[in-house]
Amino acid sequence: MSTIARAYLATSATSPLEPGVIERREPGECEVRIAIGFVGICHSDIHTARGDWSGVKYPVVVGHEIVGVVEAAGSNVTRHAVGDRVGVGCFVDSCRNCENCLAGEEQYCLAGSTSTYNSVGRDGLQTAGGYSTSIVVDENYVLRIPDGMLLAAAAPLLCAGITMYSPLRNWNAGPGKRVAIIGMGGLGHMGVKIAAALGAEVTVLSQSLKKQEDALRLGAQHYYATSDPATFEILTSRFDLIINTVSADINIDEYLSLLALDGTMVLVGLPPKPLTHRAWSLVGFRRTLAGSKMGGIRQTQEMLDFCAANGLGAEVEIIPASKINDAYERVLASDVRYRFVIDAGTF
């Protein structure tokens, strides 16, 4: 017996998202059904809905910054109970046996983790994400939302939050470290908040000066506009760690020149086109160019608890489902302050 959920679907790369219905299976023994409260709009949703990356199967229901309340639980569920506030991020399953799964890095599962949307689930069906009224997920891939955290502000933590927390922790952002965040959108603004809470000296590199006041309010000490060529002279060899959230074509060599000796640039933004850079940009100061994808379940819970302990949440603009297509245009125009979150009651 399945449940019918209301949803918003992308039916092709060029059509606007539109309302419809999807089926959700009854929760299995180890699964919960979550009544979705809010879902964030990640730029990855837009890349997927618009076919920027290959392999999209339409119709697709995107959305992987999901928060809500458990409304049904299978007989063997022990980690969550009906009524609990929970979240789901970018993946809903993985093999659980490979070395990466065993290390708690399920997002790097060697058999391929199952993405929350546009993947094939254990039931052989295409996974459908959070732009819907409910979702059924194995309890091991469901996070606890700490008490006291506002649900809407928590939603973006499930992707944007963990995608920034993970590299900040893995590359030891903290006191005495100079960290720069390129792009202050959904990911970037969480990066500023988390890096500041970790005690790092935070600089925002944004295209214009429009977000300067906000960046300083969120915890950045410094802010520079990358449209000003002087920025790259002033900041040469400055940073220990740069996290690049930009999904457009940018001159990577210019930004690598801002890394100090042994500094690292971590790519988290996913531009559709290949990136190129000169070898000398790394060789010159023993620099590293790295990448990072979300975070594992254990680290995601750690991030949620860290955010709760430090009073952090996303800066959100809550919208009804009817405004999704307008919101997409605003994200593409870098005009989001700083994450759109859809009220799932409006699907």
Residue 47 binding ligand NAP, by CB under 6 A? yes
Element (H, E) at 181: strand 178-182
Residue 337 per-residue DSSP state: S
Which of 7, 34, 88, 101 binds Zn ion (CB under 5 A)? It is 101
**Residue closer to Zn ion (CB basis): 109 or 196:** 109
Residues 6 or more apart whose Cβ sits within 8 Å of residue 309: none
**Residue closer to ligand NAP (CB basis): 113 or 292:** 292
Tokens of 79: 């980690």
Alpha helices (H) in 229-323, listed in sequence order: 230-234, 252-256, 280-283, 297-309
The single-letter code of the amino acid at 247 is S
101 binds, among Zn ion, ligand NAP, none (CB under 5 to 8 A by kind): Zn ion
Question: Is residue 83 a contact partner of residue 75, using CB atoms and an 8 Å limit?
Answer: no
Which of 77, 159, 190, 220 binds Zn ion (CB under 5 A)? It is 159
Which of 25, 293, 323, 337 binds ligand NAP (CB under 6 A)? It is 293
**Residue closer to ligand NAP (CB basis): 34 or 180:** 180
Question: Is residue 285 a contact partner of residue 307, using CB atoms and an 8 Å limit?
Answer: no
Question: Is residue 47 a contact partner of residue 272, using CB atoms and an 8 Å limit?
Answer: yes
The single-letter code of the amino acid at 287 is R
**Residue closer to Zn ion (CB basis): 94 or 257:** 94
Shortest CB 266 distance to ligand NAP, Å: 9
Site for ligand NAP in 176-195 (CB under 6 A): 183-188
Shortest CB 14 distance to ligand NAP, Å: 19
Shortest CB 74 distance to Zn ion, Å: 22
Residue 48 binding ligand NAP, by CB under 6 A? no
Residues 27-46 vs Zn ion: string with x where CB under 5 A?
---------------x-x--
Residue 336 binding ligand NAP, by CB under 6 A? yes
Distance, CA of 174 to CA of 161 (rounded, Å): 17
Residues 262-291 vs ligand NAP: string with x where CB under 6 A?
------xxx---------------------
Residue 246 binding ligand NAP, by CB under 6 A? yes
Tokens of 1: 């017996």
* CA-angle at 92, arms to 91 and 96, nearest 5°: 95
The window from 124-132, 170-178, 216-224, 239-247 that contacts ligand NAP (CB under 6 A) reads 239-247
Tokens of 208: 């214009």
The window from 68-76, 126-134, 246-254, 275-283 that contacts ligand NAP (CB under 6 A) reads 246-254
Q: What is the DSSP string of 44-111?
A: HHHHHHTT-SS---SSB-----EEEEEEEE-TT--S--TT-EEEE-SEEE--S-SHHHHTT-GGG-TT
Site for ligand NAP in 198-227 (CB under 6 A): 206-207, 211
- For the chain, count helices (H), then strands (E): 11, 17
Which of 250, 260, 282, 319 binds ligand NAP (CB under 6 A)? It is 250
Question: Is residue 104 a contact partner of residue 169, using CB atoms and an 8 Å limit?
Answer: no
**Residue closer to Zn ion (CB basis): 89 or 219:** 89
Q: What is the DSSP string of 138-186?
A: EGGG-EEPPTTS-HHHHGGGGTHHHHHHHHHHHTT--TT-EEEEE--SH
Site for ligand NAP in 148-167 (CB under 6 A): 159-160, 163
Point out which residues bind ligand NAP (CB under 6 A). Answer: 42-44, 47, 159-160, 163, 183-188, 206-207, 211, 245-248, 250, 268-270, 292-294, 331, 334, 336
Which residues lie near Zn ion (CB under 5 A)?
42, 44, 94-95, 98, 101, 109, 159
